[in-house]
């Protein structure tokens, strides 16, 4: 088994071989944020990405290559701020992974919360659908409640389908579903907040269906 020094020398030699086989256009393909993509460089010399920072000789050789490429215009010039920080070690943010996990956990809990609330609303709605109205604070919760209540009380009615320029479209509405309007259509006697029932799901002319308002 090669020692640490031997492995470091092997990586440096592999880097020199890789560099010699690359053209300027090849380097341009792996530019990322103003420098050579470390992941692609590591792949090219078959070493871990960490070796590019932990092996002083390899790190120096990579910097020399990038300086050369900047001189030829393959890489963009360093900004003043980048020049000042070029040789400074980057602080390791050990909270980054924790933040990502926390964000993922919060998203999962929010999804579970929405699902639980929707199930409770659906169960209450089924007790007396004709005299029930459900209000929710977010579109995501509204969508989940609508889906569950439709599956529970009106799963088999005809869906609202229509064609535009030969392409078929579907809306998550079925015959006898309750419809709440969220825009004003004064020419049709509809106001934001009007309620009705979808009584016709067959498209005709410019109409995709018909809703009978609860006001008659």
Which residues span the domain enclosing 52?
A: 4-85
Grade residue 37 by pLDDT with cuts at 50, 70 and 90.
Answer: very high
**pTM greater than 0.85:** no
pLDDT at 92 (0 to 100): 47
- C-alpha–C-alpha distance, residues 163 and 170, integer Å: 9
Domain boundary among 29, 51, 85: 85
pLDDT tens digits along 126-168: 998 888 888 888 888 888 998 999 999 998 888 888 887 878 8
Grade residue 204 by pLDDT with cuts at 50, 70 and 90.
Answer: confident
pLDDT tens digits along 55-68: 999 999 999 999 99
Chain Cα centroid distance, residue 178: 32
Domain co-membership, 74 together with 13: yes
Domain co-membership, 214 together with 144: no
Grade residue 93 by pLDDT with cuts at 50, 70 and 90.
Answer: low
Is 114 inside a domain boundary? yes
- pLDDT at residue 82 above 80? no
Domain co-membership, 142 together with 167: no
The two counts, helices (H) then strands (E), for the chain are: 8, 7
At 190, is the secondary structure helix, strand, or coil?
A: strand
pLDDT tens digits along 6-16: 888 999 999 99
* Cα within 13 Å of Cα(142), Cβ side: 9
Is 31 inside a domain boundary? yes
At 43, is the secondary structure helix, strand, or coil?
A: helix
**Residue 55 burial (C-beta neighbours within 10 Å; 0-12, 13-18, 19+):** buried
Domain co-membership, 41 together with 62: yes
Domain co-membership, 12 together with 42: yes
**Contact predicate 165/137, CB 8 Å:** no
Is 92 inside a domain boundary? no
Grade residue 95 by pLDDT with cuts at 50, 70 and 90.
Answer: low
Which stretches within 168-212 are classed as H helix?
none
Is 112 inside a domain boundary? yes
Domain co-membership, 215 together with 180: yes
- C-alpha–C-alpha distance, residues 162 and 174, integer Å: 13
Is 123 inside a domain boundary? yes
pLDDT tens digits along 193-202: 888 889 998 8
Of 87, 189, 1, 114, the residue nearest 211 (C-alpha): 189
- C-alpha–C-alpha distance, residues 176 and 179, integer Å: 9
Counted domains in the chain: 3
Domain co-membership, 75 together with 126: no
> Hey, what are 208's tokens?
């995709």
């Amino acid at each position: 088994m090669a020692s640490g020094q031997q492995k470091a020398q092997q990586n440096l030699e592999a880097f020199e071989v890789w560099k010699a086989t690359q053209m300027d256009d090849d380097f341009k393909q792996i530019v990322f944020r103003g420098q050579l993509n470390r992941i692609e460089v590591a792949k090219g010399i078959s070493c871990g990405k960490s070796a590019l920072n932990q092996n002083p000789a390899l790190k120096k050789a990579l910097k020399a290559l990038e300086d050369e490429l900047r001189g030829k215009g393959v890489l963009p010039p360093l900004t003043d701020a980048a020049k000042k920080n070029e040789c400074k070690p980057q602080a390791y943010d050990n909270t980054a992974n924790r933040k990502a996990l926390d964000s993922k956990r919060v998203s999962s809990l929010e999804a579970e919360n929405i699902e639980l609330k929707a199930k409770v609303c659906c169960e209450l709605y089924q007790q007396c659908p004709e005299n029930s109205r459900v209000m929710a604070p977010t579109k995501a919760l509204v969508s989940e409640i609508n889906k569950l209540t439709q599956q529970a009380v009106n799963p088999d009615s005809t869906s609202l389908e229509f064609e535009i320029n030969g392409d078929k479209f579907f809306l998550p509405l079925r015959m006898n579903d309750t419809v709440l309007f969220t825009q004003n259509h004064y020419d049709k006697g509809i106001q934001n907040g009007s309620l009705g029932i979808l009584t016709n799901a067959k498209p005709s002319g410019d109409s995709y269906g018909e809703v009978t308002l609860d006001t008659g």
